[in-house]
Amino acid sequence: MKRRRFISNTICGSLAFSFAPFSMFSLSQDIDPNELIGKGSPELVGTEIKFRKEVYDAYFSMREDAKKAGILITAVSAYRSFERQKQIWERKYNRYLSQGLQPRDSIKKIIEYSTIPGTSRHHWGTDIDIVDGYHMDVPHLLAPSNFNEGKPFYKLGQWLGQHATEYGFYRTYTEDPLRKGFKPEPWHYSYKPLSVKFLENFLKIDLLKVLKAENFQGSDHFTPTWIETYRNEHILDINPELLP
């Protein structure tokens, strides 16, 4: 289904979900509802960077093949818990406040690249942030400019663009000029065989209720209308290949 049609349908349908208890829904694929918001206990493999086993296997297969092209695919982030995302969120929120931004402007600034705790695709263990391990000394590692022609990750970005889908990985936030939400992230890839199922189930939860219950810094500024916009622009306006 094309992205615009999917988002349009979701706007109509999601209002019906937005105030229903999230325990009402029978989630398909036996996904623990807590895993959708980063509070479950998923089975993960890896040491510092953790993955679901299927994602791990696909990632290392891709990594081995990229080595033949002189590229060391290296994940700098994969699974991320609710608490970890909350730390990232509150650190940025407080930094922007200290710089003089108002709370709503601070939130707007954060969601250029970072998700609200409970809404990150990294909670699912299906998404990874990738760099070239041969250039780990690059300042501001996850900066889009590092993937520009002549820059350290250009070769990596070109290789991923040609081959990542062969292993099930699709770039999530593209340069599509019509896309809203998060700014382009050339490092963020999602393992489609699993992430589509997670997104399909995630869309059934009462997002506003979940976020209000957590009471983290800035969450008191979330309104039903604001969350609905965030849902449709940041969660759904992604690479259409990754929509249910």
Q: pLDDT-derived band of residue 28, with 50, 70 and 90 as boundaries?
A: very low
The region that residue 30 occupies, defined by phi over 0 for left and psi between -120 and 50 for alpha, beta otherwise, is left
Q: Which fold has domain 3-242?
A: Muramoyl-pentapeptide Carboxypeptidase; domain 2 (3.30.1380)
pLDDT over 70 (residue 228): yes
* Rounded-to-integer distance, Cα 116 and Cα 231, Å: 11
Say how far residue 90 (Cα) sits from the centre of its chain. Answer: 17
Distances (CA, A) of 109 to 28, 89, 121, 153: 35, 11, 19, 25
Residue with tokens 């263990």: 125
Strands 127-132 and 169-171: unpaired
Residue with tokens 């604001």: 226
The proportion of the chain whose per-residue pLDDT surpasses 90, expressed as a percent, equals 85
Q: pLDDT-derived band of residue 215, with 50, 70 and 90 as boundaries?
A: confident
Show the tokens assigned to 78: 């994969």
* Rounded-to-integer distance, Cα 80 and Cα 226, Å: 24
Distances (CA, A) of 11 to 15, 78, 160: 7, 29, 32
pLDDT of residue 102: 97
pLDDT digits (tens, 9 = 90+) for 121-157: 999 999 999 999 999 999 999 999 999 999 999 999 9
pLDDT of residue 44: 97
3 state DSSP class of 191: strand
pLDDT over 60 (residue 192): yes
Q: In the predicted model, what is the mean pLDDT of the chain?
A: 90
Please state the rounded mean pLDDT for residues 76-101: 98
pLDDT of residue 29: 56
pLDDT of residue 96: 98
Please state the rounded mean pLDDT for residues 115-122: 98
pLDDT of residue 2: 44
pLDDT over 90 (residue 59): yes
Q: Could you please report the per-residue DSSP string of 192-220?
A: HHHHHHHHHHHTTS-HHHHHHHH--TTGG
- The DSSP call for residue 139 is S
CA angle 227, 175, 235 (to 5 degrees): 20
Q: How many other β-carbons are positioned within 10 Å of the β-carbon of residue 155? A: 18
State the amino acid at position 45 in one-letter form.
V
pLDDT of residue 21: 32
pLDDT of residue 234: 98
pLDDT of residue 212: 87
